[in-house]
């Protein structure tokens, strides 16, 4: 079965993409909720410096030091940005925007100068190419396994383990760092571990999808899931699910159009976010608009009922409770007035006199108006 | 240096340098507003968003002409900015996630389009990926015209809306209370960042452009206390680092221009952070030392005066050991410092006694002043 799996090129590439997506979005959920998701941007750029420096020292592109060096470079970026921001000489966002482009620029320069010949090409680093996963295989027993499959498998496992084991701590650290601190849970340390794992994942994802598309996998699936649900575990699991779905759909789209696989996977992620943004049942744009309109309609009816109720006992009741009068007294255009009256009539809250102008509250309408004015008399 | 002169008068080089200067000035000036309004990372999103715009411009125009590419990049930048605003204002996502999502998705679309163009072997696509990291040598005189037009537009808008932009940068709430269309002006300022991005496409590339928006402005902020000064300085810093990076990259073939320009700009920023008066790290360290020395010196002076008064003579010479005991630490370095200021003087050493110190008349007056101040 394993041999059949490894022979299926499509399946293996999709699996690698899905592993990158799951590993990244598991961690990304917490970064997005904490409001620190752009650290993944900084990290994914600056790990290149770590990779290049370790390469220049060791002469090996795939040494285990690579992962450590790159991950340290990622953490260094975060630390430097926070230090610079804390010095108050530049603001926090500008601090990050100063540090990571500088480190990335240095890395590209070093590649230009010393490492042109190896496959550390600066364009590959930026864009990645999933299809090249087959150029780098490890032989295990009778099987030739792409190296990225193994690395990403291990990283996904570690990330999943971390998120499961520290779910409670992470949850508290994200939503109430003060309480977490008071309980002795060390939220800052936990956050740095999270960023360390993000760096490691970025290194692993590097060959497959490149530096910038990695950010898409960290931020976009959890963000889309967050628009769909209120439960943390659902954000985490939903993000991972969306990442897998995007990998599969993106792979087929990329094959069909003959374009970058990683790019297409990330594009599909983006589309899922747009879909969630527009159509999420509770937080989507459409749902919000509908809700807004409904609330406005309800408020208009209540306003009319209260208006009628207030003037019911007065001598001017006849003038006030006139359909045409609404234009002046509530400043409603004639069309709006007619529409609101029609809706209220439909709900049995008022009746219109035979002249089609005089409005009378029904008992139900009077109750509704009284509830607005005197809510404590309820029941 | 005849060689350097030769390089500088070379046609390509002159084009590249002019381009770098244009880029630096515009991104410095516009970056100032982005940094002051804490929208630095929006610049990152806009610059990454330029990639799909470039590709679409290329696909529509059917070749690598700068105008379509610039217009495509501008349109994509505007779309990205709009999306970020939409996501931030109308969804529960925080600004960072909105920026990150838009940035990475647009770049992903750009990657897809770029590989689409490359895999189709469309004519005239060579060098399209130089927009990733910039290649100054590829700049043509015609490109320079486009860049100059864009820069003139950007700087002209800043000049026209100077008063409005200034108020928005510092007090948008007040601007709103004046009845200004603040959201419209803010949208304009944001869209103008796209202008800076567009002009940097060929020099710096889309990936590192964010540094050219932030670094010159952040550097200028360290030296300037007024917006006018900051804008001018940022323009100068931007142009200087742009030209420096360009010269270095042209001196050795195969070096991408963008990283060098960014490193030059970062260098300027680091120097500013360390050496700028008042805000610089060095300046503040010196200031702190001075303050501490003044406080410690004051303590020893007052101690001396009180010891002397206890002996009924303000000119009484106190032994060093006594001073140490009252001061609570070794007072020797502080005393030497005070001696240099002419506030205390050591007595000639006497046999069997430690070093003795006496307040000078200036020292007595100063100690008296400090004592009164302390009692206030």
**pLDDT digits 0-9 by tens, A142-196:** 888 888 888 899 999 999 999 999 999 999 999 998 999 899 888 889 999 999 9
What CATH number is given to the structural domain containing A138?
1.10.3470.10
Contact B194, B31 (CB under 8 A): no
Torsion of CA A305, A310, A312, A317, to 10 degrees: -100
- pLDDT in the model for residue A186: 87
Tell me the C-alpha distance between B112 and B118, whole Å. Answer: 10
Nearest beta carbon to residue B105 from set A91, A106, A267: A267
Q: Residue A343 maps to which CATH number?
A: 1.10.10.10
| Residue of B150 and B126 predicted with greater confidence | B150
CB–CB contact A270 B105 (8 Å): yes
Looking at the structure, do residues A59 and A140 belong to the same domain, yes or no?
A: yes
Same domain? For A156 and A231 the reply is: yes
Which residues, other chains included, contact B243 with Cβ-Cβ below 8 Å and sequence gap of 6+? B17, B20, B21, B24
Nearest-CA residue of chain B relative to A34? B94
Query: Looking at the domain assignment, is residue A148 inside a domain?
Result: yes
8 Å CB contact between A250 and A267: yes
Summarised one tens digit per residue, pLDDT across range A38-76 is 999 889 888 888 888 888 887 776 667 778 888 888 889
Confidence at residue B125, expressed as pLDDT on a 0 to 100 scale: 66
Could you tell me if A236 and A356 lie in one domain?
no
Chain B residues touching residue A37 (CB < 8 angstroms): 94, 96-97, 100
- A203: pLDDT strictly greater than 60: yes
Count of domains for chain A = 2
Over the stretch B328-375, which tens digit does the pLDDT of each residue have?
A: 888 888 888 888 888 888 888 777 777 888 888 888 888 888 888 887
When the candidates are 3.30.565.10, 2.70.170.10, 1.10.3470.10, 3.30.365.10, the CATH number that belongs to B2-276 is 1.10.3470.10
pLDDT exceeds cutoff 70 at B72: yes
Length of chain A: 379
User: Please, which pLDDT band fits residue A323 given cuts at 50, 70 and 90?
Assistant: confident
Q: Could you say which of A265, A282, A299 is where a domain stops?
A: A282
Which residues, 6 or more positions from B319, have their beta carbon under 8 angstroms from its beta carbon?
Answer: B353, B354, B355, B356
- In this structure, the number of other CB atoms found within 10 A of the CB of residue B142 comes to 12
Fold match flag (B2-276 vs B283-368):
no
Evaluate whether A268 touches A220 at the Cβ level (below 8 Å): no
Average pLDDT over residues B108-124: 84
In the stretch 144-203 of chain B, residues with CB closer than 8 A to chain A read: none
* Closest of B166, B373, B253, B193 to residue A97, by C-alpha: B193
pLDDT tier at A379, thresholds 50, 70, 90: low
Q: Which domain covers residue A330, as residue numbers?
A: 287-377
pLDDT band at B127 (very low <50, low <70, confident <90, very high): low
A266 and A296, same domain (yes or no): no
Residue B263 near chain A (CB below 8 Å): yes
Instruction: Compute the nearest-CA separation of B98 from chain A (Å).
Output: 9
The pLDDT tens digits of the residues spanning B231-251 come to: 999 999 999 999 999 888 888
Q: Which two tokens stand for residue A52?
A: 């290049």
Rounded to whole angstroms, the Cα distance separating A20 from A247 reads 9
Please tell me the predicted confidence (pLDDT) of residue A120: 61
Nearest-Å Rg of the Cα atoms of chain B is 30
Q: Which of A250, A267, A282 delimits the end of a domain?
A: A282
Written as one string, the DSSP assignment of A333-345 is -HHHHHHHHHHHH
Distance of CA B79 to the CA centre of its chain: 27
The answer to whether the Cα torsion of B272, B276, B278, B281 is positive or negative is positive
Question: Which residues of chain B does A41 touch, with a Cβ-Cβ cutoff of 8 Å?
Answer: 41, 44, 100, 103
Report yes or no: A250 and A307 within 8 Å, Cβ to Cβ: no
How far is A107 from B112, CA to CA, in rounded Å? Answer: 25
B79 close to B49: Cβ distance less than 8 angstroms: yes
CATH number for B283-368 (one of 1.10.10.10, 2.40.30.210, 1.10.357.10, 2.20.28.90): it is 1.10.10.10
Whole-prediction pTM: 0.84
Could you tell me the residue ranges of all domains in chain B? 2-276, 283-368
Residue A3 maps to a domain: no
Shared domain for A38 and A158, answered yes or no, is yes
Beta strands in chain B (DSSP E): 318-319, 344-346, 356-359
Question: Beta strand pairing status for A137-140 and A143-146?
Answer: antiparallel
| Assigned token pair, A136 | 């780098």
Burial class (CB in 10 A: 0-12, 13-18, 19+), B324: middle
Among A26-35, A107-116, B297-306, the range with the most confident prediction by mean pLDDT is A26-35
Q: Do A108 and B133 touch (CB under 8 A)?
A: yes
Whether residues A205 and A309 fall in one domain = no
Same domain, yes or no: A126 and A266: yes
> Do A53 and A16 have their domain in common?
yes
Q: Are residues A258 and A337 in the same domain?
A: no
- CA distances to A171, A220, A238, A315 from A235, rounded to whole Å, are 12, 11, 5, 60
Same domain, A256 and A162: yes
Domain end: A282, A297, A322, which one? A282
Q: What band does B143 get if pLDDT is binned at 50, 70 and 90? A: confident
């Amino acid at each position: 079965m394993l041999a059949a799996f490894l022979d299926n090129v499509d399946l293996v590439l999709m699996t690698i993409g899905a592993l990158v997506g799951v590993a990244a979005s598991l961690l990304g959920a917490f970064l997005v909720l904490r409001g620190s998701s752009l650290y993944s941007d900084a990290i994914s750029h600056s790990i290149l410096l770590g990779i290049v420096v370790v390469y220049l020292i060791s002469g090996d592109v795939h040494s285990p030091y690579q992962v450590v060096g790159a991950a340290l470079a990622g953490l260094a970026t975060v630390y430097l940005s926070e230090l610079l921001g804390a010095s108050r000489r530049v603001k926090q966002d500008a601090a990050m925007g100063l540090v990571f482009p500088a480190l990335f620029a240095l890395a590209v320069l070093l590649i230009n100068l010393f490492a042109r010949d190896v496959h550390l090409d600066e364009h590959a680093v930026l864009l990645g190419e999933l299809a090249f996963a087959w150029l780098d295989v490890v032989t295990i027993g009778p099987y030739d396994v792409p190296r990225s499959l193994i690395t990403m498998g291990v990283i996904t496992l570690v990330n999943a383990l971390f998120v499961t084991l520290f779910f409670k701590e992470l949850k508290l650290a994200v939503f109430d760092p003060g309480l977490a601190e008071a309980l002795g849970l060390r939220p800052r340390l936990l956050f740095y571990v999270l960023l360390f794992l993000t760096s490691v994942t970025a290194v692993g994802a590097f060959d497959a999808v490149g530096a910038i598309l990695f950010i898409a996998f960290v931020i976009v699936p959890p963000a889309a899931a967050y628009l769909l649900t209120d439960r943390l575990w659902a954000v985490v699991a939903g993000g991972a699910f969306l990442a897998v779905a995007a990998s599969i759909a993106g792979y087929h789209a990329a094959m069909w159009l003959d374009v970058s696989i990683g790019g297409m996977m990330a594009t599909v992620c983006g589309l899922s976010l747009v879909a969630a943004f527009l159509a999420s049942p509770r937080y989507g744009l459409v749902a919000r608009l509908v809700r807004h309109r409904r609330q406005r309609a309800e408020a208009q009816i209540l306003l009319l009922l209260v208006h009628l109720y207030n003037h019911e006992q007065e001598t001017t009741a006849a003038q006030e409770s006139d359909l045409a009068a609404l234009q002046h007294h509530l400043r409603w255009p004639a069309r709006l007035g007619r529409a609101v009256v029609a809706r209220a009539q439909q709900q049995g809250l008022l009746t219109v006199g035979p002249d089609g102008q005089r409005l009378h509250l029904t008992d139900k309408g009077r109750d509704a108006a009284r509830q607005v004015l005197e809510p404590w008399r309820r029941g | 240096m005849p060689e350097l002169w030769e390089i500088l008068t070379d046609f390509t080089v002159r084009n590249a340098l002019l381009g770098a200067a244009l880029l630096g000035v515009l991104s410095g000036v516009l970056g100032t507003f982005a940094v002051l309004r804490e929208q630095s990372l929006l610049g990152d999103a806009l610059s990454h968003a330029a990639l799909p715009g470039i590709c679409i411009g290329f696909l529509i125009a059917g070749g690598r002409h700068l105008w379509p590419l610039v217009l495509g990049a501008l349109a994509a930048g505007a779309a990205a900015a709009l999306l970020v605003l939409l996501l931030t204002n109308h969804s529960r996502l925080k600004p960072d996630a909105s920026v990150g999502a838009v940035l990475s998705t647009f770049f992903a679309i750009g990657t897809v389009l770029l590989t689409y163009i490359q895999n189709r072997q469309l004519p005239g696509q060579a060098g399209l990926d130089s927009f990733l990291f910039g290649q100054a040598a590829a700049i043509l005189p015609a490109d320079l015209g486009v860049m100059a037009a864009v820069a003139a537009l950007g700087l002209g808008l800043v000049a026209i809306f100077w008063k409005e932009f200034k108020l928005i940068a510092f007090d948008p709430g007040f601007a709103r209370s004046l009845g200004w269309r603040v959201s419209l002006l803010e949208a304009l300022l944001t869209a103008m960042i796209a202008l800076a991005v567009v002009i940097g496409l060929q020099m710096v590339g889309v990936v590192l452009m964010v540094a050219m928006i932030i670094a010159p402005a952040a550097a200028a902020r360290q030296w300037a206390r007024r917006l006018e000064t900051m804008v001018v300085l940022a323009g100068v810093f931007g142009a200087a680092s742009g030209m420096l990076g360009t010269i270095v990259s042209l001196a050795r073939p195969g070096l991408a221009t963008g990283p060098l320009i960014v490193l030059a700009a970062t260098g300027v920023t680091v120097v500013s952070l360390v050496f700028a008066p008042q805000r610089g790290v060095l300046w503040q360290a010196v200031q702190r030392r001075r303050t501490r020395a003044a406080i410690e010196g004051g303590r020893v002076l007052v101690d001396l005066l009180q010891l002397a008064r206890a002996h009924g003579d303000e000119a009484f010479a106190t032994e060093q050991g006594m001073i140490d005991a009252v001061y609570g630490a070794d007072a020797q370095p502080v005393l030497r410092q005070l001696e240099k200021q002419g506030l205390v003087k050591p007595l000639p050493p006497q046999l069997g006694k430690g070093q003795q110190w006496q307040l000078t008349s200036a020292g007595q007056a100063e100690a008296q002043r400090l004592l009164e101040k302390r009692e206030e």
